[in-house]
Amino acid sequence: MTRSYRLYQIDSFTKHKFTGNPAGVITNADGLTESDMKKIARELNNSETAFIFSSSDAAYDVHLRFFTPTHEVPICGHATIAAHYARAVEQRLDTTRVIHKTGAGILPVDVIREDNDYKIIMKQGKIEFGSLIEGGDREMLLSALGVTEEDLLENHPVQIVSTGHSKVMIGIKSSVILHQLKPNYEALAQLSKRINCNGYYTFTTDSADHDILIRGRMFAPAIGINEDPVTGNANGPLGAYLVHHKLAKHNGSSFRFKAKQGEAMGRSGTMEVEVQIENGEPVEVNISGEAVIVFQSELIL
């Protein structure tokens, strides 16, 4: 029996096609097996593809699963934006809140209708501060990135941080150094096995744009993503990291900033990050972004 699935290619964190971060989306994924999803993600060859399943529980409205070309991941920022954007367009939603189940937990997503288009705001998962990268692991990391200690931002610990899918935070002094990075991907993938973290977020506060605080690049070769254009699950935890280490100016209750990523790949995109703060510590992270449909089609299996 043939089955028909609604397939989208969507660029997230941008309103301009062929920029931002592309994600595949299947909006009616019921009936797909894990093997099917792996094959579809490999075929589309985006950093992630999102699959929207119907709810089987009153606790949530939809169930999302995310696959890279080689692995399933618990959650993905840009693919979440893409999935809810596609669903909103399909269903012609008004401003609403959607509760979705992900590998990072059951979380809310706000769909904001503006000027006959949509902005998506997603709450990220639990904030977790992991290991500092020190000693031999730090030496391996710097070697793999092709940087020295002098290239790093002072007083910015190299640390694993997660809001559902962990990344190593690596502060770089200048945007010139950042955009000249040519990592050894195999070495980064090998280090991932040692530190149990697949993503490396290199970022700088050296920004020429007054409204952009962070410029960044994210590498995750261990899960088939040499470089990701614009990464919600990097900039979200970065916001928590900046508050936790007292590296951000804020009003005591929240910290907002914009981050730009993807410039080195010719796929520039921008997102807004908001960190909720209690007693000087981050307690919740939300990211928001726009999206644009590049194409939609029908997948017959």
Give the count of beta carbons closer than 10 Å to the beta carbon of residue 185.
Answer: 16
Residue 158 sits at φ, ψ, to 5 deg, of -85, 110
Task: Report residue 276 CA to chain centroid gap.
Answer: 18
Given 43, 48, 128, 134, the catalytic residue: 48
Give the count of beta carbons closer than 10 Å to the beta carbon of residue 115.
Answer: 6
Least Cα distance to 178 among 202, 146, 143 occurs for 202
The Cα 24–Cα 27 span in angstroms is 10
Show Cβ contacts of residue 255 under 8 Å, excluding neighbours closer than 6 positions. 239, 242, 243, 248, 249, 274, 275, 277, 282
- For 79, 107, 208, 223, the CA distances from 200, given in Å and listed in that order, are 19, 25, 23, 12
| Annotation says 34 is catalytic | no
Q: Which residues pair with 67 in a beta bridge?
A: 49, 72
Using DSSP, how many helices (H) and how many strands (E) does the chain show?
A: 6, 18
The per-residue b/e assignment along 71-93, b for 16 or more CB within 10 angstroms, e otherwise, is: bbbbbbbbbbbbbbbbbbbeeee
User: Which residues have a catalytic role annotated?
Assistant: 48
